[in-house]
Amino acid sequence: MTYYQEHQSEFLESLKAFLRIPSISALTEHKPDIRRAAEFAKAQLLGAGMTSAELIEGEGNPLVYGEWLGAPGKPTVLFYGHYDVQPPDPLDEWKSAPFEPEIRGEDIFARGACDDKGQVMIQIKAVEGLMRGTGKLPVNVKFLLEGEEETGGEHIEAYVKSKPPRLKADAAIVCDTEMFAPNLPTICIGLRGLVYYEIAVEGANHDLHSGVYGGAAPNPVMAIAEILCALKDRNGHIQIPGFYDRVVPPAPKERDAWARLPFDEKEYTEKEMGARELVGEPNVPLFERVWARPTVEVHGIKGGFVGEGAKTVIPARALAKVSTRLVGDQRVDEAIEQFTAAVKAACPKGVTVEVRMLSAGAPSLTNPDNAFIQAAADAMKEVFDKETVYIRSGGSIPIVGVFDRYLGIPSVLMGFGLPDDNLHAPNEKFHLPNFYRGIEAVGKYLELLGR
């Protein structure tokens, strides 16, 4: 491990150089930066000892692929990460420039520091350390980095779907999640699925005067309210027929482990969320609500007059963005059918509703007894000197479902972010001790896998 400890400042310089490239996938004017970041990652892969590395072109931003296959008979792991970042706005809330990495205390501040350049760099430097130290790797290694994770681009999915032989592997290693608490090694074994919809309601073909027609005219905003209330009751319990049928409750062992996680509900509610109190299904513990229960959530709504003052209009149309999170054995196709049928059934008289599905990803759950998960837990335990905890995440990482479906491999979610790393927000940061220990942990993981 000496190599890792000796080269920390060099690793840091590589990370800084990566962070200085404003590879914002959402903004067209940063297309050249996207390419620079891809080229930078490719050069890093070659520098780390990959025998080959290249950009894979296609619809959208290039994928970066690299491989080292010098360990015949040993497992093959596929590292996944992304080199694109979120836009930095609101700019005026940043304490230092988002693309000029600045170290304050033990943290490095920059857009992408944690999500996901810092974690991609952990993967690369872990490999580099082993190569430099021993001239070879204990397992076969492949890298697949994408450049449109933040925009939901479909290049990587299209590529993986084509099942290219070069992606054959025994497990994927995804470093794009977080640790449950500082210094608490964490592996995420479950992700919720996500189906995202737009619900469009139309009433009359033009706005109507609420004095003249109020009492007889259909109101699309009210219709959306009625539809939303028909989908979920005031306790957060979903009313879509059949939606819970395939929901698998966590095993008692998992539930017990969650109950033992270090957790301050008041701090979580008030400081982290900035909320007054938690809501949701009564008698369902918090972690189960956010990790192991499906949701129906409205993300946005618009319709009618929302300017200053008063306008007595009955709007002609209204629109809402609504998603469902899926868990356990829920199936995407079935969930879409159930949701669409429930919306249509709840649509009141006088209006028409259209349900447009915008994206869909399946839930995933990996058995913690899987050998690749076990080795990861052992490696992290050794480096962090603490028992690794297994958690799930309420969010969705679509690539995990894609790897599962088309490559038939499990994903090991080894994350080194922290809950307060300000992902997608101003002053994104990465905790440097996690950066260095992450490199060691991933290196250790490959060693353990090679035994």
300 binds its own copies (CB under 8 A): yes
**Which residue in the block uniquely carries the two structure tokens 């509703």?**
353
**381 token code pair:** 């335990």
Using the rule CB under 8 A, which residue among 17, 247, 352, 374 binds its own copies?
352
35 exposure class (CB count in 10 Å sphere: 0-12, 13-18, 19+): middle
Identify residues 169-208 at the interface with its own copies (CB under 8 A): 192, 194, 196, 203-206, 208
Identify residues 422-441 at the interface with its own copies (CB under 8 A): 424
Using the rule CB under 8 A, which residue among 274, 283, 367, 451 binds its own copies?
274
Using the rule CB under 8 A, which residue among 1, 275, 345, 371 binds its own copies?
275
Please tell me the distance from the alpha carbon of residue 443 to that of residue 434, in angstroms, as a whole number: 14
- Tell me the window of 56-64, 125-133, 180-188, 287-295 that interacts with its own copies (CB under 8 A): 287-295
147 exposure class (CB count in 10 Å sphere: 0-12, 13-18, 19+): buried
266 binds its own copies (CB under 8 A): no
CA nearest neighbour of 191 among 8, 35, 376, 397: 397
- Pick 216 or 252: Cβ nearer its own copies: 216
- Tell me the window of 223-231, 243-251, 336-344, 408-416 that interacts with its own copies (CB under 8 A): 223-231
213 binds its own copies (CB under 8 A): yes
359 binds its own copies (CB under 8 A): yes
- # residues contacting its own copies (CB under 8 A): 80
Please tell me the distance from the alpha carbon of residue 125 to that of residue 105, in angstroms, as a whole number: 23
153 binds its own copies (CB under 8 A): no
- Tell me the window of 297-305, 378-386, 399-407, 429-437 that interacts with its own copies (CB under 8 A): 297-305
**Which residue in the block uniquely carries the two structure tokens 């995407």?**
332
> Sheet harboring 102-104: ordered strands across?
102-104, 107-109, 429-431
- Pick 163 or 311: Cβ nearer its own copies: 311
Q: How many CB atoms lie within 10 A of CB 279?
A: 11
258 binds its own copies (CB under 8 A): no
Which phi and psi angles does 190 have, rounded to 5°?
-140, 140
Report, in Å, the least distance between residue 220 CB and its own copies.
9
236 binds its own copies (CB under 8 A): yes
263 binds its own copies (CB under 8 A): no
154 binds its own copies (CB under 8 A): no
277 binds its own copies (CB under 8 A): yes
- Tell me the window of 142-150, 342-350, 372-380, 436-444 that interacts with its own copies (CB under 8 A): 342-350
289 binds its own copies (CB under 8 A): yes
**282 token code pair:** 């009564």
CA nearest neighbour of 373 among 170, 179, 183, 184: 170
Cis peptide before 101 (omega within 30 of 0): no
Which string of DSSP letters, residue by residue, matches 91-143?
GGG-SS-TTS-EEETTEEESTTIIIIIHHHHHHHHHHHHHHHHHSS-SSEEEE
- Tell me the window of 47-55, 94-102, 162-170, 230-238 that interacts with its own copies (CB under 8 A): 230-238
344 binds its own copies (CB under 8 A): no
Report, in Å, the least distance between residue 272 CB and its own copies.
9
Q: How many CB atoms lie within 10 A of CB 280?
A: 14
27 binds its own copies (CB under 8 A): no
Please tell me the distance from the alpha carbon of residue 143 to that of residue 150, in angstroms, as a whole number: 19
Identify residues 405-424 at the interface with its own copies (CB under 8 A): 424
Using the rule CB under 8 A, which residue among 286, 336, 341, 365 binds its own copies?
286
- Pick 97 or 200: Cβ nearer its own copies: 200
Identify residues 63-102 at the interface with its own copies (CB under 8 A): none
CA nearest neighbour of 303 among 251, 351, 364, 240: 351
CA nearest neighbour of 236 among 280, 278, 277: 280
Identify residues 364-403 at the interface with its own copies (CB under 8 A): 393-396
| Contact predicate 59/155, CB 8 Å | yes
214 binds its own copies (CB under 8 A): yes
- Pick 68 or 196: Cβ nearer its own copies: 196
Please tell me the distance from the alpha carbon of residue 432 to that of residue 366, in angstroms, as a whole number: 29
Amino acid at 175: C
Identify residues 302-341 at the interface with its own copies (CB under 8 A): 302-306, 309-316, 318-321, 323, 325
